Amino acid sequence: MPQTLDADALLALANGFAAIATSVRSTLDNDAIALSPGQSAALSSKLTSLDTMAVNLSTEAAKIAFDDTAGAAAQIAAATSAACDEAAAMARNARKITGVVNVIAAVVAFGGAFGSGNPAKVLAEGANLIAAAQASKDGTVPDQA
């Protein structure tokens, strides 16, 4: 039964082709080997083919690697989504508590205004109390600084 190459094996093969091409070029440069125009063109063509095989195999390796890890990517995305939901829920809860605290504070302020006997103050604090209660009910308490 024929075996298929995995992404690592394909990449290793690609790296091998690239290394051969690099080695040949390095030898030509360092040893200043003189080639006839025909030899030069033929060698250049072979080296270009090696380069092309290296990049094509590399791209194939990347494709296989992505295919093999599609499930892992989906799992990470799910964990991310759950974490973001949880962070949002924590922030919502914090806002809820702050909202209740604000209502209690508004009640205290309203009580003080009521005790002072100043109608304008009572009205103002009453309005504040209603606003705080509404914000707490609607969950529109501003984000924490």
Partner 1 sequence: MDHRAHRPVQTFAALCAAVQLAACNQFVDLAAVQKYAETTASAAASFDALARDYGRSCRRRRSFVAPPADLRFLAIPLADAVESPRTIAVAPAPAAPSSMSTLSNCTAEDAAAAEWMKRNGIVLGYVRSLGALAGADQVPKFDALGTALVNQNVIDQTQDDAFTGLLGAIALSATHAGQEDAIARTARDAAEPLRRAVKALKIIDASYANQLQAEYDAVNETYKTRICDELLAVIHQGPSAANVGRCTLPPGFPSAIPSASRLAVQTTSADAARLIDDVNARRVATVEYAKAIDTIVATNDDIVRSADRKASAAQIAAIVKKHFGDLVTAVAGVQKAVK
User: What residues between 21 and 40 interact with partner 1 by CB under 8 A?
Assistant: 21-22, 25, 32, 34-37, 40
Per-residue contact string for residues 74-113; x = within reach of partner 1 by CB under 8 A: -xxx-xxxxxx-xxx-xx-xxxxxx--xx-xxx-xx-xx-
| Cα 64 to Cα 84, 135, 143, distances in angstroms | 30, 53, 45
116-135 residues in contact with partner 1 (CB under 8 A) are: none
Among 55, 123, 127, 130, binds partner 1 (CB under 8 A): 55
Burial of 136 (0-12, 13-18, 19+ CB in 10 A): buried
Q: How far is the CB of 123 from partner 1 (least distance, A)?
A: 17
User: Counting contacts by CB under 8 A, is residue 54 touching partner 1?
Assistant: yes
State which amino acid sits at residue 43. Answer: L
Q: What is the DSSP letter of 32?
A: T
Which region, left, alpha or beta, applies to residue 32 given φ > 0 means left and ψ of -120 to 50 means alpha? left
Q: Which is nearer to partner 1, 82 or 123 (CB)?
A: 82
Q: Which is nearer to partner 1, 1 or 143 (CB)?
A: 143
Which region, left, alpha or beta, applies to residue 33 given φ > 0 means left and ψ of -120 to 50 means alpha? beta
Residue 70, C-beta contacts closer than 8 angstroms, at least 6 positions apart: none
Among 23, 26, 27, 52, binds partner 1 (CB under 8 A): 52
Among 23, 27, 56, 118, binds partner 1 (CB under 8 A): 56
Q: How far is the CB of 135 from partner 1 (least distance, A)?
A: 11
